[in-house]
Each structure stands twice: as C-alpha cells, then as structure tokens.
Amino acid sequence: MSRRENQPPARRSIRPLATVLPYLARYRRLVIGAAISLTLAAITTLTLPMAVRRMIDNGFSNSDSGFINTYFSMLMVLAVVLALASASRYYFVISLGERIVADLRREVFAKVTQLSASFFDVNQSGEIVSRLTADTTQIKSAVGATASVALRNLILCLGAIGMMIYTSPKLSSLVLAAIPIIVFPLVGFGRSVRRRSRQAQDTLATASAYAGEAIAAARTVQAFNGEESANRHFGSAVEDAYGAARAAIRARSILTGFAITMVFGSVVAVLWFGARDVLSGTLSAGTLSQFLLYSVFAAGSLGALSEVWGELSQAAGAAERLNELLTEVPQIQAPEHPVAMPVPAQGAIAFTDVHFAYPARPDYKSLNGLNFAVKPGETVAIVGPSGAGKSTVFSMLLRYYDPVKGAVTVDGIDARSADPKDLRDRIAIVPQDVTVFATSVHDNIAFGAADASREAVRAAAVAAQADEFIARLDQGYDTQVGERGVTLSGGQRQRIAIARAILRNAPILLLDEATSALDAESETLVQTALDGLMRQRTTIVIAHRLATVLKADRILVMDHGRVVEEGTHASLIRQGGLYAKLARLQFDHGAEALFVAARS
C-alpha cells in the first residue's frame, strides 16, 4: 500500500502465508484433529498396495478361500477407516479455514479503523474493502482446502516413496534420480504463477474500488448521463483483471501439464525396467504391482502437490496484501505514557505557531504559523477564502494529523502528549457533509454513545428539533434510513448530526456550517438546534452565514494558513480588509445592509 508503493516487488515465496500461523495456533484442537485425520487417511491409503501384493502373490495361487475372506474383510475395515478419516479431515480442515478467515476479517477491519487520516488520503476505500473480502476468501480456500490437500499429498508422497524404496531399491533409485528433473522447473513455474496472481488481485481491487465509488454515487452518475462512461471504465478495469487472471491461469495450466508429463513419464520408464525384471524372474509379479501402485500414488500426489503449490502461491499473494494492512503503523498513536487531560474539562484551545503540510502534499503548507486561543465557553467564528485552512484547523484539533512545527493544546495539554481517545472525547463535531449510516435513526443518533438510553436519545433529538420529523417516520426511531441516509432530507440529516453531537455532550463543539441552502423552515430549525447546542460550550464554527458571525464572540479571518484579521463583525467591516470583502461577497442579503451600517 501507500508506504510500500515505491519499494521493489516483494519476495516471491509462499512465506507471506506465515501471517496465518498465529491464527492457526489459536485453534490447536482443530489443527490437531485435522493433522490426525490427515495422517490416518494417508496411512490407510498406503497400506492398500501391500494388500494387493499379498493377494496377487499368495491369494490367487493359494486356493484357501479362508485367506481370501480374511483379506477382503481387512480391506473392508481399511475402507471404513479411510472413509471416517476423510470425513473428519473435511470437517476439521474446513472449519479451521472458516474460523481463521473470520478472525482475519475482524482483525484487518479493526486495524483499518485505527489507521490515521493520512492513510486514507492516499488509499482508496474500495481497494481496502477488496482486501477484506476477496483476499481473505482466498486465504480461506488456502487454509480450508488447499493446505489439507497439500499436507495429505505430502504425507502420501513421502510414504509412497519410502514404501517404493522398501519394495524395490533398484527401481526406486531410478525414480529418485528423476525427481530433481521434475521438481526444479516446478519451483520456477510456481514463482511466475505467484507474481501473476498478485497482479490479478491488485487489478481486481482497483476495479472493485471504482465500482464502489460509482455505485455510491449512482445518482450523480445518472444526473450526468455518465452510465456509459462508468460502464466503459469499469468494463475495462474488469477486463484488465481478467487479463491478469488469465496470465496466472495460463502459467498454472502449463505447470500442471508439465508436472503430469514428467511424473507419469518417469513412472512408465521405471515400469519398463520392472517388467524386464519380472520376465527374467528376479522380481515377483505381486512386488511389481505393489511398486507400481506406490509409484502411481507418489506420482499422483506429486501432481496434486504441484497444482496445490500454484494455489498456495495465489493465497500467498493475498496474504501479502493483507499483511501490508496488518503491519501498517498508524501515524497517530497514543504516546507510551499519555498525559491525563484535566478533569473537569474546561474547553480551552490554543494554536501556537502551527505549521502544517498534509503528508500527501508535503511541499504545500496548509497552515503557516497559525496562532489563536479560545477561552472556555467562547464562540469563535472562522471565516476565510476557500483553501485558507479552515477545515484543517478542525483536523488538527481532532488530531487527525500532527503539526510539522508548533503545538495544538486543549485544556493546556499538547494534543500529541494525550491519548487521542481522551482528546476526542472532549470534542463533538457537526461536519458540513453529515455522515449518516445505513442503520436506524436511534443508532445514528447514538453513534459513538452505544449505551445511551432511548430517553437520552429522544431528549437529544428534541433539543436538535428532530423529534417531530422522526415521530412522523414509519417506525419512528427504529426507521432504517438507507445507505448514507438517502431517505432523509438534507436538513433532517443535519439535525440527526446535531442530535448526535448533543448526546455526546462534549465541552468543545466544532461546527462546519453547511453551505448548501436549506429551505427557510429547515434553516430556522437547524439554526435553533445549533443555538441550543452551542450554549455553554467552547465553539469554533466555520461560518458561512451572517447570523452566525453576528452571534460569535470573536471572528478569526484566515488566509493562507494563518489568522490575518480578528475582531467582531462591526470592527472588521470598519477595517475594510479581507473580511469586509468576503462579507460583501459571501453573506446573504442582510449583509449588505449591515455592511453599510457598520461602515457609517
């Protein structure tokens, strides 16, 4: 991901799968169950050729039918053991795969939620979601099926080779000589499969990211008649993913074909030698049959191993991508010994010579020597042209980022030395783009205060002027509001956000006034709700309305990342500087009159 983008491609091995090992260690019983049933199934299979030899060499030449009966009964018992072992292998192994992938998903998600704003500045959410779903599914099939097939075949292969040596050392030496010729090319092919499958996963993630974005913005896509171009874009991303997958598939099919040819070719060659020994009387027919079966087992399991190797390599690509997320270090973390914030909270804020550049744009200073202080309970409005750094002030207060130079303090404590959780507990924010989740109204208001009672949620909604419209919804507070709150109006969404902030009851309120026009009634309701919220709290508001600046104790005018003017509306208008210019352009009609009044 971000910090690895410029690094050379990772080692092509199945080592990334080691990520899964700690998860396996948690479920020892399932692992032991799987190992026992795997071994049992393999051993049972390995005894079959011996039975066959005994039957060919003794059974058919010996007319004793009792011998035959004993043999067949034993074979039956073997078959039952094999069936039981296989069934329990399936149970243990598949459960293990599902269990581990559930843990992985949970942990990757938990990790992602901890990552800092700078991570999300450069990584697409859809891409991350793809890791959470597609990549974990691949790990599941690797652990759940592939690994067990690999293990079974490995045991079978080693067992069969051991038995081949025991049965006929001479023929075995011929086979063993052929092994390196088979194995080395396989390893080489495996590498290329792995590289290609990683590419396939990466392209798939890009396609998913695009789809996520387009689906979330379906209305905008339609409004701009953008369906066709969206389809084209997604179509070509999907084709790229298909192309990458095909390259991986091609490499794998070559790998499989090659492995089977080599393995069975050498079996046939060995048999040819064996047949000559039987003819010359130095080898019994039963022993050759036993050897033949073992070599077919060994060859079959080698073939399966090569196929499985390809799958494991694919899963290693997925594990690598997950590992990148799991090992990503959040840039903003609590210090080892966080300083406790003073209790009770006061709500004092100070920015001292703060310089800051976003990590995604290190050469551009969004804050450039910003200085200001806000006293407990004060209401300060920030105004300034677009790009002046107003929203960045909020990001610094919430400690999404740390200053490059200078300090941000809350209640006298440097934001960097406190636990971000304590700091954020003191802050409630009503953003311009309200985030409403696809759950009930109740859960949306109680977001971040999950144990709030229904009464408390209702009281917050009443204070936010939202209770009335909520009561009119089909199921009141239990109404599902649709993804991103699509079933609510803009003003309703804002009041939900205000109720959420009221419920939080934090001493500091950050308010980013919506610029989008609400109708007069909603506007009044939202304004009344906000007035209630701002009372008795330290408030910093990014102001777009005249009414707001008029109510503020103080106005800070920002430009190029610093405060350039400060005062009340009247005093600033009188100065005739940037504020006076902005006020004339930005504020609603009443401004003109006030502007004139303030100047005269």
Ligand X SMILES: Nc1ncnc2c1ncn2[C@@H]1O[C@H](COP(=O)(O)OP(=O)(O)OP(=O)(O)O)[C@@H](O)[C@H]1O
Contact residues for ligand X, defined by CB under 6 A:
121, 358, 360-361, 366, 384, 386-392
Q: Which is nearer to ligand X, 160 or 354 (CB)?
A: 354
Q: How far is the CB of 112 from ligand X (least distance, A)?
A: 18
For the CB of residue 368, give the shortest distance to ligand X in the complex, in Å.
10
State the nearest-atom distance from the C-beta of 317 to ligand X, in Å.
30
What CA–CA distance (Å, rounded) separates 558 from 563?
Answer: 4
CB of 364 to ligand X, least distance (A): 6
Contact (Cβ atoms closer than 8 angstroms) between residue 46 and residue 297? yes
Q: Among residues 499 and 557, whose Cβ is nearest to ligand X?
A: 557
Distance CA 300, CA 156 (A): 9
Q: Which is nearer to ligand X, 361 or 405 (CB)?
A: 361
Q: How far is the CB of 394 from ligand X (least distance, A)?
A: 8
How far apart are CB 563 and ligand X at their closest, in Å? 12
Sequence-distant contacts of 162-169: CB under 8 A, at least 24 apart: 163/46, 163/49, 163/50, 163/290, 163/294, 164/291, 164/294, 164/295, 164/298, 167/287, 167/290, 167/291, 167/294, 168/274, 168/283, 168/287, 168/288, 168/291
How far apart are alpha carbons 126 and 53 in whole angstroms?
59
The Cα 502–Cα 269 span in angstroms is 82
Contact 288, 275 (CB under 8 A): yes
**What are phi and psi for residue 563, nearest 5 degrees?**
-85, 125
Alpha helices in 6-146 (DSSP H): 21-26, 28-54, 65-114, 117-122, 125-130, 136-141
- CA dist 362 and 246 (Å) reads 40
User: In angstroms, rounded to a whole number, what is the distance separating the alpha carbons of residues 273 and 267?
Assistant: 10
Residue 52 vs 552, nearer CB to ligand X: 552
Quick one: 434 or 502, whose CB is closer to ligand X?
A: 434
> Tokens 């020892």 sit at which residue?
28
Structure token digits, residue 127: 């891409």
Task: Compute φ and ψ for 116, nearest 5 degrees.
Answer: -80, 165
As measured in angstroms, the least distance from the Cβ of 562 to ligand X is: 12
SS3 call for 354: strand
CA-to-CA distance for 554 and 569, rounded, in angstroms? 8
Shorter beta-carbon distance to ligand X: residue 387 or 482: 387
Query: Which is nearer to ligand X, 86 or 586 (by Cβ)?
Result: 586
- Contact yes or no for 31/144 (Cβ under 8 A): no
* CA–CA distance, 357 with 355 (Å, rounded to integer): 7
* Of 196 and 390, CB closest to ligand X: 390
**Contact between 436 and 486 (Cβ < 8 Å):** no
Tokens of 360: 């995604």
Phi, psi at residue 353, to the nearest 5°? Answer: 45, 55
**Distance of closest approach, residue 385 Cβ to ligand X, in angstroms:** 7
Bridge pairing between strands 379-383 and 554-559:
parallel
d(CA 565, CA 583): 13
Nearer to ligand X, 365 or 426 (CB): 365
Minimum Å gap between C-beta 534 and ligand X is 20
Nearer to ligand X, 375 or 560 (CB): 560
* Cα atoms found within 13 Å of the Cα of residue 529, Cβ hemisphere only: 32
> Is 274 within 8 Å of 332 (Cβ atoms)?
no
By C-beta, is 7 or 386 nearer to ligand X? 386
Site of tokens 């692992």: 31
Distances (CA, A) of 417 to 109, 337, 351, 450, 499: 27, 8, 15, 27, 30
**Per-residue tokens: 88:** 């329990």
Q: How far is the CB of 560 from ligand X (least distance, A)?
A: 9
Q: Which of 559, 547, 555 is nearest to 573 (CA)?
A: 555
Q: How far is the CB of 433 from ligand X (least distance, A)?
A: 11
Q: Which is nearer to ligand X, 299 or 370 (CB)?
A: 370
Cβ atoms 197, 250 nearer than 8 A = no
Nearest CB to ligand X, comparing residues 152 and 390: 390
Least Cβ distance, residue 220 to ligand X (angstroms): 19
User: Which residue lies nearer to ligand X by CB, 201 or 392?
Assistant: 392
In whole angstroms, give the CA distance from residue 23 to residue 106. 12
User: Under a CB-based contact definition with an 8 Å cutoff, are residues 411 and 341 in contact?
Assistant: yes
Residue 343 in tokens: 């209790």
Give least dist CB 517 to ligand X, A.
Answer: 16
The least CB distance from residue 122 to ligand X, in Å, is 9
